[in-house]
Amino acid sequence: MSHISLRHAFLASASLTFVVLPAAAQSGSETEDTVRTLGTIAVTATRREESTLDIPASVTVLAGDIAEEASTLDGAEGITQYLTGVEAAVANGSQIAFQIRGIGAVDHQALTPTAAAVYSDGVFLSTNVQTSLFLYDLERAEVLKGPQGTLYGRNASSGALNFISARPRQDQDGYLRASYGNFNRVDLAGAGGSALTDQLSYRIAGRYLSRDPALDNVQTDPTIQRGPEDAGGVRDEFGLRAQLLYEGTGDTSLLLRAHYEEDNGINTTPRNDSLNVGDHEISSEGLGLQDTDNEFYGLSLEGQTTLGPWQLYSLSAVEGYGQDYGFDFDGTPAPFGDPTLNANLSYDRSFLQLSQEVRAAREFDRVRLLVGAHLAYEDFAQDYLIWCGQLDPQTLAGTCPYVGTAGRVGPDPVSPLTAVSLLTHIGQERTTAALFNYNDFDLSDRLTLTLGARYTFEDIEGNGYGQHIFTDGTRGLNNRNGVGAALGQNEIEESKLTGNAALRYAVSADTSVYASVANGYKSGGFNGEVQNNATSWQDEGLFGAETVTSYEAGFKTARGNLAFNAAAFFQDYDAPQARIFVAFDLPDGSQITSNSLSNLDEAVSYGIEADTKWSPLNGLDLSASVTWLETEIQQESDGAGNAALFDGNPLPFAPEFSATLGIRQEWSVGENRRAAIQANAKAKSEYFLDAEGLDARSQDGYATVDASATLYLDTRGLELSLWGRNLSDEDVAISGYGFIGYNTFRSAPRQYGIAAKLSF
């Protein structure tokens, strides 16, 4: 039997390609120049199994060996290494905001999802905290580019990412994997299962990851003792997933899935731009250092059956988490040389999400219909604390006054003592309901019209308060500018109708062209950071929904050993959400300026992208992709000259150019051994970290390379590997925020190690 199998599928964009040997090769007559043929595979991007060649939209799928590599990543943000036009901003250790084609607010608060809707095994993850997705036993990831206003709900203004775990089967593979690398990185994983009866099977998967600090905490102020090494970030995580599958007669099945993950490490301290440090270095006195106590859990029941001509589907899910973590907020041991300007930050969060989705699909002679409904309820609570110096855990008072406290005390302080800390509490309940449909009409044997629509209703109720804490623990409500205490509540009710329309023409059985228009939106909400005064809960303190309308034309083909896809797009971005310094009008006619999530006027995003896969020789797979992207904020003047801050600026995390190049070479080594080398490189041009477009808040262009070399011992099911990530050792900003200067979270340096995997 040939040493090439379907398991060694490689990265595919817009048309997932699997590697299949010609019959001559499988019969043992293969030669060095025998080439592979590329075919397409059905995915669930459109909520039904369908070849990506037949989907009139840009769809990227990571599967096979790439999915296996992704299962060893530190977090979901790592998949952007294989994608162009897709970036990720990572803040506070595990909060990920994906940007697709430049669309997506770079925000570190956890009240709202990102513009790219993220799904795990079909369940919508409603906050950016959940998108860290500690990956393990991943079967594939599907990435949809462009607004998804029909099937993917209220927060899909830039696209959607679906992470799909390996499912139980009657006959399934299992494995154990162990890896060790520099920084004392230990990565242990395993998965397996079996059939309990001819209708019942199970699968259990787990992973443990630990790593010592990857960044070096150096001394930059000789008057302050060097801070702890752990400020460079410690990883200590584990996850467990269990699935039980019942397969009845016909198409009837029930899948029960439960998962639990913990993060017990220490978040990496950001770097302040005032510091003179080297690559992969930070400097912190460590007073804000705190052990992380994060847990994530979920339970879902997925069912499908056939009722007459209809295919029915149901997904019921519970998702939740609790978080308790903190870090050095100012990113320097002594801001401006003054240790009394020090600031530390901690979060204490809880979240619960209940959701139910039902769908019904039916096929007629020339029509395919899908209708569905979605209902969800979310309950979020957060305490957000900022202090200076050492923290008294009982009173929550710091040993020096946090610089932002005095201005929030107001005209009538409740204590003659000094206010030193700030505590903000917010609670939020969100109820959403949606009706949607997605339909294909075959106008001829070659021409297909796709029409879809979604009506979404949302009700968001928020409440909270902002307090300042005095040295003795006495607390008062914030009242910046004396316009009213920071205590209140508000409610947002809104409904949106979104949808898509597309025409696809099949030039041949393996080539198609399409044109589409689609729109989507991301809901508005409350700002969950420091509450200054009563305006925090008034309408002026909220941010509104953003909408994106996209126009796209594309080409897809997969012939023999070559696949190629290309698309051109234009996106009209209305009321983009952005974290900016924005002026708020006060009742007395004056204004205050606050760093919060707000709305710009509009922006545009347009460009072209292409990808290709080629298997010119037996065992050799090549892939490449490129995206050229132009983005521009269009902001009218507000009368105070603020337009100059944003008008004409590019959107954050939107490099003008990005490209990937992948190679996998596999060959026989003796009778029962194989060897393979695999490398993937990504290059991108300069991009900005926020909407203000300042050179000091940008990241220069760079290129990174990941690679591995593997020896397969087929008779034993054993694999031995050498691996490396970020081999170019790039030190880059993965997100940033303005606070006592500008602070950036940094990427990990070069990592490398050895791994062993036993399959059974």
Q: What is the 3-state secondary structure (H, E, C) of 267-322?
A: CCCCEECCCCCCCCEECCCCCCCCCCCEEEEEEEEEEEEEECCEEEEEEEEEEEEE
**What pLDDT is attached to residue 589?**
54
Q: Which whole-number Å values give the CA distances from 240 to 188, 194, 201, 259, 449, in the listed order?
A: 12, 17, 17, 6, 43
Q: Do the beta carbons of residue 231 and residue 272 sit within 8 Å? A: no
Tokens 């005064």 correspond to what residue? 533
Give the count of beta carbons closer than 10 Å to the beta carbon of residue 378: 21
Q: Do the beta carbons of residue 326 and residue 347 sit within 8 Å? A: yes
**What pLDDT is attached to residue 3?**
36
Q: Do the beta carbons of residue 14 and residue 552 sit within 8 Å? A: no
- Cα 198 from Cα 26, distance rounded (Å): 31
- Cα 140 from Cα 118, distance rounded (Å): 14
> Across-strand partners of 235?
211
**Rg of the Cα trace of the chain?**
26
**What pLDDT is attached to residue 643?**
57
Q: What are phi and psi of 77, to 5 degrees?
A: -60, -25
Distance from the Cα of residue 642 to its chain's centroid: 31
Q: Looking at this protein, which amino acid is placed at residue 350?
A: S
Tokens of 661: 């190049």
Q: Looking at this protein, which amino acid is placed at residue 742?
A: Y
Instruction: Give the length of the chain.
Output: 760
Tokens of 553: 């034309």
Residues in the chain, pLDDT under 50: 1-36, 584-587, 590-593, 639
**What pLDDT is attached to residue 40?**
55
- Cα 694 from Cα 582, distance rounded (Å): 16
Q: Looking at this protein, which amino acid is placed at residue 179?
A: S
Angle, alpha carbons 432-437-443 (nearest 5°) = 160
Q: What are phi and psi of 671, to 5 degrees?
A: -75, -40
Tokens 């709202």 correspond to what residue? 112
Give the count of beta carbons closer than 10 Å to the beta carbon of residue 490: 16
Would you say the C-alpha torsion 395, 398, 400, 402 has a positive or negative sign? Answer: negative
List Cβ neighbours of 50 (8 Å cut-off, separation of 6 or more): 42, 43, 44
Tokens of 533: 């005064």
- Cα 731 from Cα 719, distance rounded (Å): 31
**What pLDDT is attached to residue 581?**
63
CATH assignment of 6-759?
2.40.170.20
pTM passes above 0.85 = yes
